[in-house]
Amino acid sequence: MKKRRLEFLFLYFMIFGAYVVYWWTVPAWSVQLYAAIYIAIILFSIISLMLENRTSQHTLLWIYVLIFFPIIGYMFYLFSGQLYVKGHLFKSKRMYNREKLRRISELESKPNESSLTDNQRAFFHYTEKATGMHVNTNSDMEILKNGEETFPRIFEELKKAKSFIHIEYYMFKSDFLGHRMMEILIEKVKEGVEVRFIYDAAGSIRFSRKDIKRLKQAGVKVAPFLPLKYGFFNQKFNFRNHRKIVIIDGETGFVGGLNVGKEYVGRDEKIGFWRDTHAMLKGEAVQTLHSVFMLDWEYVSDEVLIDDPKYHTPHSVTGDDVIQVVPTGPDMKESMSDLYDALISNAKQFVWIATPYFVPNESIRTALKIAATRGVDVRVMVPEINDGFLTQYATRSYFSELLKEGIKVYHYQKGFMHQKVMIADGELASVGTANVDMRSFQLNFEVNVFTAAKKPIEQLMAHYEEDMKECEQMGPVHFYKRGLKERLKESFARLFSGVL
């Protein structure tokens, strides 16, 4: 970490030197000295980049940023561009997680794969070997569409809790929806239910200290994930927990795209309608999802839950859906990119993708183009208007090469689409928290559910077809005729695609 401290000293020198040169009257030699040192710092950073042996695209991207965006480019480099730090920041957590998850999987029953096709079996064998996460079959999965279906079910299940409630959210806001959930949690604590709550320190910036204090005073155990004040110099602040997990008594689990805030139920006038997808799990898969929470809780609080049999009580269900819960992030070996790549490459008939942020890496782009060349019906659905300039135009910068390969691109127009869904051949599907972008692939802690269950996949397909009615398909001719101004925006935003 000595190198990290040196780089921050460089940043302070840049800012202070620029301030002195711009605002003060100084001798010419001082300006020349500052310029020489500045150039030396940039050269040092470029050499460091080259020695990291990243992909040529990422290396060139950051070289351009460092050269053409003085000081600001260096800040981007420090705060968003450095991925190598995850290697030692989360090394111990990665090794610990692997061992604990292996032990948990030994307690689970052997999955019944008799209902799987050869294609499904091949996919799950790969993902199980790649991630170490076992497939669950004594489980049930239900797809929930939008906040109007999801939150009533979450609140209903929370009120049924008898032993414990474990919650983990990237974004939790102190608005009417957040307060409603808080009231239920406080009431359950009064009834003797254990409640633990993880919120991401960056994503939940609008979770008021007053509400946090109120929860703690009521008896809720609350912990932030990687507080910003502790992560400034070691760059932990750049690795965010994007997971959304709710576990009730180890019997019911929720996971998907919905955070807690009024926009997620379409009550934000500036955003309007909000399209999202969540999943409710029952049975053995809940134990796997719960393990993800317990490992995160131990990381933020040092309280060990995962070894307590109380939190591993099996709950039988009538369903036998084939489900695999897969967490990814800096603390895991595999990236969600590898799993998405496998899902796309496995497809023989169609691949339907819905994601709010589509900034794919080279392997995903290659997999999509090869699939389309093989005659697979590839569709990518993104919101027409995104919630950020860079994400919106970086996404559009990839349309040209996709359209050339016959990939169909759709703009969702009814409102903001936030779901993260991928469906292949009507046989396999993914629902979860991970977008198709570099932040989800490299920086964020994510969790997705992959399934071969017939009913949930049929629900997802029906919802996708309904969503297409609210879309405009991007035609190649129309897209290629876009103006120079739009092209410049796309090209500029794409410079930052490696960190979006």
Instruction: Reply yes or no on whether the pLDDT at 261 is more than 60.
Output: yes
Strand spans (E) along 146-227 = 164-169, 194-200, 221-225
* Single-letter code of the amino acid located at 310: K
pLDDT tier, 399 (very low <50, low <70, confident <90, very high otherwise): very high
- Encoded amino acid at 135, one letter: V
> Which residues is 277 bridged to in the sheet?
145
What the block records as the tokens of 323 is 């489900």
Catalytic residue positions? Answer: 242, 244, 249, 418, 420, 425
Residue with tokens 């049924």: 160
Phi, psi of 281 (to 5 degrees): -115, 150
Q: Which two tokens stand for residue 138?
A: 């004594």
Residue 336 has pLDDT above 90, yes or no: yes
Tokens of 448: 């997705």
| Range in 21-30, 171-180, 441-450 the model is least confident about | 21-30
Backbone angles phi, psi at 221, to 5 degrees: -85, 115
> Where are the domains positioned within the chain?
2-82, 89-116+139-319, 336-499
Query: Are the C-beta atoms of 471 and 414 separated by less than 8 Å?
Result: no
Question: Domain 89-116+139-319 is classified in which CATH homologous superfamily?
Answer: Endonuclease Chain A (3.30.870.10)
Tokens of 486: 């739009």
Question: Is 411 exposed, middle or buried (CB count within 10 Å of its CB: 0-12, 13-18, 19+)?
Answer: middle
Q: How far apart are CA 234 and CA 236, in angstroms?
A: 6
- The per-residue pLDDT of the chain, averaged, comes to 89
429 pairs with which residues across the strands?
423, 451
- For 11, residues 6+ apart whose C-beta sits below 8 A from its C-beta are 74, 75, 78
pLDDT category at 84 given cuts 50, 70, 90 is very low
- What is the per-residue pLDDT for 108? 65
Q: Is it the case that residue 350 has pLDDT exceeding 70? A: yes
Domains 89-116+139-319 and 336-499 share a fold: yes
Q: What is the pLDDT of residue 268?
A: 93
Average pLDDT over residues 235-249: 87
- The tokens for 43 are 């050269």
Mean of pLDDT values over 274-300:
95
Contact 164, 311 (CB under 8 A): yes
- pTM for this entry: 0.86
> Cα–Cα distance between 450 and 321 in angstroms, integer?
11
Which token pair is 164? 């414990």
Q: Over range 337-351, report the average pLDDT.
A: 96
Residue 91 has pLDDT above 50, yes or no: yes
CATH code 3.30.870.10 for 336-499 = yes
Residue of 396 and 5 predicted with greater confidence:
396
What's the rounded Cα separation, in Å, for the pair 90 and 333? 11
Instruction: Give the per-residue pLDDT at 313.
Output: 79
Cβ burial 229-267 (10 Å sphere, 16+ → b, else e): eebeeebbbbbbbbbbbbbbbbbbbbbbbbbbbbbbbbe
- In the predicted model, is pLDDT for residue 277 greater than 70? yes
Among 72-76, 223-227, 264-268, 441-445, the range scoring the smallest mean pLDDT is 72-76
3 confidence band (pLDDT: 50, 70, 90):
low
Which has more pLDDT, 52 or 25? 25
Mean pLDDT of 390-397: 90
User: Span 140-149, mean pLDDT?
Assistant: 97
